Amino acid sequence: MLEQAIALHKRGQLSEAASLYLKILAHNPNDADALHLLGVTELQRGNASAAIEWFDRAIKIKPNNASFIGNRGLALQRLKRFDDALASFDRALAIEPDQFEALNNRGNALSSLNRFTDALASYDRALAIKPDHFEALYNRGNLLRELKHFDEALASYDRALAIKPNDVEALYNHAKLLRDLKRFDEALMSFDRALAIKPDFAEALNHRGNVLLELKRFEQALASYDRALAIRPDFIDALNNRGNVLRDLGRLDDALASYDRTLVIEPDHVNALNNRGIVLYELKRFADALLSFDRALAIKPDHPFLFGLRLFCKMRICDWRDLADDFAQLAAKIDRGENASPPFAVLATPSSAAQQRACSENFIRTRHPKNALPLQDEGRYRHGRIRLGYFSTDFHDHAVAQLISELFERHDRSKFELIAFSFGPPRRGAMRVRLEKSFDRFIEAGALSDRDIALLARRLEIDIAVDLNGFTQGGRTDVFAMRAAPIQVDYLGYPGTMGADYIDYLIADSTLIPEEQQQHYAEKIIYLPGSYQVNDSKRPVADRLFTRAECGLPEEAFVFCSFNNSYKFTPEMFGIWMRLLNKVEGSVLWLPKNNDAAMRNLRQEAKARGVDPERVMFAPYVSNSKDHLARTRIADLFLDTLPFNAHTTASDALWAGLPILTCLGKTFPGRVAASLLNAVGVPELITRNLNQYEALALELSTNPRKLLSIRQKLAANRMTHPLFDTALFAKHIESAYVSIWRRHQDGLGPEHIHVPPQGTLGARST
């Protein structure tokens, strides 16, 4: 009868088999095999508790049967009693050390207990017995992926799939691992294999969309998410990810709707709240964005980079409630090594250079780890000319392009070949036409994946890759993480360290980064003479003479201005400006019209400081930069901000002939205006502390003769000093490029480079 029961059992007729086992036990209650097999049947039917009772009766009769004890462990494991299960497996293995099933299942129990190293050893013992066992190889791969031993995990999955090439779960996890390894094309193939077998596998469709998103194949990614949602309309991860791809497509309102659908299903979905805040921020609905960030932060205070995102949004609307406490919390989080903020947001806070580096390094480790392929011959290409690759999202009418466009035109084409990699969507306009003409080759790379861009740069044998974005919107840091070129340089877009060991150099000057601060920068510093900031000496200023009346300004008033972004305004600086308005009769403060919430808050702050809110005036945005420059001239004095100075706007003011008063900060972003003033020969407008800053502002606003003298000096120096001498700047930066290229050709690593002023022998290293 036992043989008949076993035959039914093997055919999957579990109820019939169980009935026969019970009949056997009715005749012989101590038939250990029937007791054990009845337990196996109950386990297969999903009744683990009943299975344990039968196993216990069998083990009482045969206490040294390793199979009985091992299966009891399996039942305990199904009940998530992992410690008890482990004890059973260990007892079985003490009896029969080479029992494969116990070793494999022991690995599963240890994995569930997060004892990953012990689990791996158990799988390896099992595979020493059965090297081609699919389940053990698959489990081992899952564990190695959890341990982030990605290459070993991939090898284990590959061995498993060689045995069962159509196992859907193995294909799915194999594809996810390839995605983790940033081998996106291969991951896509593996997801597609899984979906060919199981077309309604919603999780695979969702992750397939994520891979297509990484490959910048946005429309296909959207279609994949939509397929997942057709199968599971309430699939919140797919809804959230759908919002992400819509955001990348520039369909911000649709992205917002997708996040909102996610939050209807799960109101506390932190990723959706965070992403919703980002989209609202990009829509310039800063107050709404802040509410979304607040909700996310209340749910998960340690959500990566959320604290800084929220703080930066708060600063955009000049909401200064509890700001000092926010700054202190941010600094403490950075000091503890937390992923507290995106690096750019930290620049606008009173953080130290060491904290800015720590923040960047955390961001790089988390979001953009090194992922380089080896360079052939270490990238010592042999060309007649050095191949410069400039990489940017901002090759259009943007502040970066406005500064750097003439440099591209002035590069010595007998020594340098220029190739542009444009990350942004194609844009037309006079600036774009000018830029395209200034390169030997202009590549629209926005639709390419990061890997494809890096490989293209290698195929083109770019000698020096210059990243003009850094941590600014649209940057493609992973291109450089893959080592697009043997020498990689950060310049202009991001005023600080990237914190990445794959960025070799940062272009600066001695005002921005004194030598005693070099340890706070992951890169080696290229020190240019004069200022690090390039300018366009051809930049036109409109002939139009603006009147104060048409700008809404009082004709006879002293006009202080600060054409900075609102996140650069702080209570301390604003307090100084309000004291100046109180002391300088009839004066006004002219600020850019950043956003309605900021304007309301600033006027409320003025009132709280005893100043008529109407004396804080706002200039509407002018899209034509020539008109903006001409309009700037009607102000009397530009008041700079701290800890984040005016950068391009400082150059605008000086080019237009408007003096800018600055205070020398402690970090790169707070020392830029001083760098510009030194290079234009007006160092008397650089103060060393805020008391000096306030005193000099008051003196200049009440001493017309002194201010006129400075304006006249600035007008004279504008075309005679280095700041706006783009031809001279081109020679200096080319000297730097040649120096770092020669070092690499000689097999030397990056080192600090000091470029002497034109006329001396050449760049030196320290």
What would the pLDDT profile of 162-182 be if each residue is shown by its tens digit? 999 999 999 999 999 999 988
Which strand (E) or helix (H) includes residue 588? Answer: strand 588-592
- The neighbour count for residue 16, using CB atoms within 10 Å, is 15
- How far is CA 536 from each of CA 186, 394, 651, rounded to the nearest angstrom? 45, 16, 10
Measure the CA–CA gap between 254 and 250, rounded to whole angstroms.
9
What global pTM score does this model have?
0.91
Per DSSP, the chain holds a count of helices (H) and strands (E) of 34, 15
For residues 561 and 637, the answer to whether their CB atoms sit within 8 Å is: yes
**Average pLDDT score over residue span 637-648:** 98
Tens-place pLDDT, residues 532-559: 999 999 999 999 899 999 999 999 999 9
**Average pLDDT score over residue span 720-726:** 96
Sheet containing 660-663: which strands, arranged edge to edge? 616-619, 588-592, 559-561, 637-639, 660-663, 686-687
pLDDT surpassing 50 at residue 761 = no
* 444, β-bridge pairs: 422
**Average pLDDT score over residue span 599-615:** 98
Measure the CA–CA gap between 757 and 350, rounded to whole angstroms.
33
Closest CA to 219 of 190, 194, 250, 191: 250
> In the 8-state DSSP scheme, what is residue 758?
B
pLDDT surpassing 70 at residue 491 = yes
Write the secondary structure of 416-458 as one string of H (helix), E (strand) and C (coil).
Answer: EEEEEEECCCCCCCHHHHHHHHHCCEEEECCCCCHHHHHHHHH
For residues 132 and 163, the answer to whether their CB atoms sit within 8 Å is: yes
**Residues 228-233: contacts with CB within 8 Å, 24+ apart?**
228/202, 228/203, 231/200, 231/202, 231/205, 232/202
* 464, β-bridge pairs: 388, 487
For residues 650 and 672, the answer to whether their CB atoms sit within 8 Å is: yes
SS3 category, 46: coil
Measure the CA–CA gap between 198 and 186, rounded to whole angstroms.
19
* β-pairing verdict for 386-392 and 524-527: unpaired
- Judge if the upstream peptide bond of residue 643 is cis by omega within 30 degrees of 0: yes
Measure the CA–CA gap between 623 and 608, rounded to whole angstroms.
33
**Residue 149 burial class via C-beta count within 10 angstroms: exposed 0-12, middle 13-18, buried 19 and up:** middle
Place of tokens 């774009």: 432
- List the structure tokens of 128: 């020493």
Closest CA to 599 of 628, 566, 571: 566
**Average pLDDT score over residue span 142-164:** 95
pLDDT more than 90, % of the chain: 87
What is the dihedral sign for C-alpha 491, 495, 501, 504? positive
- How far is CA 158 from each of CA 174, 176, 362, 600, rounded to the nearest angstrom? 8, 13, 33, 61
pLDDT tier for residue 416 given thresholds of 50, 70 and 90: very high
Tens-place pLDDT, residues 75-126: 999 999 999 999 999 999 999 999 999 999 999 999 999 999 999 999 999 9
pLDDT at 660: 98
Ordered by where they begin, the domains of the chain are 2-234 (1.25.40.10), 243-367 (1.25.40.10), 376-527 (3.40.50.11380), 559-724 (3.40.50.2000)
Measure the CA–CA gap between 545 and 24, rounded to whole angstroms.
107
Measure the CA–CA gap between 277 and 366, rounded to whole angstroms.
21
pLDDT tier for residue 754 given thresholds of 50, 70 and 90: very high
**Average pLDDT score over residue span 688-696:** 98
Measure the CA–CA gap between 436 and 475, rounded to whole angstroms.
20
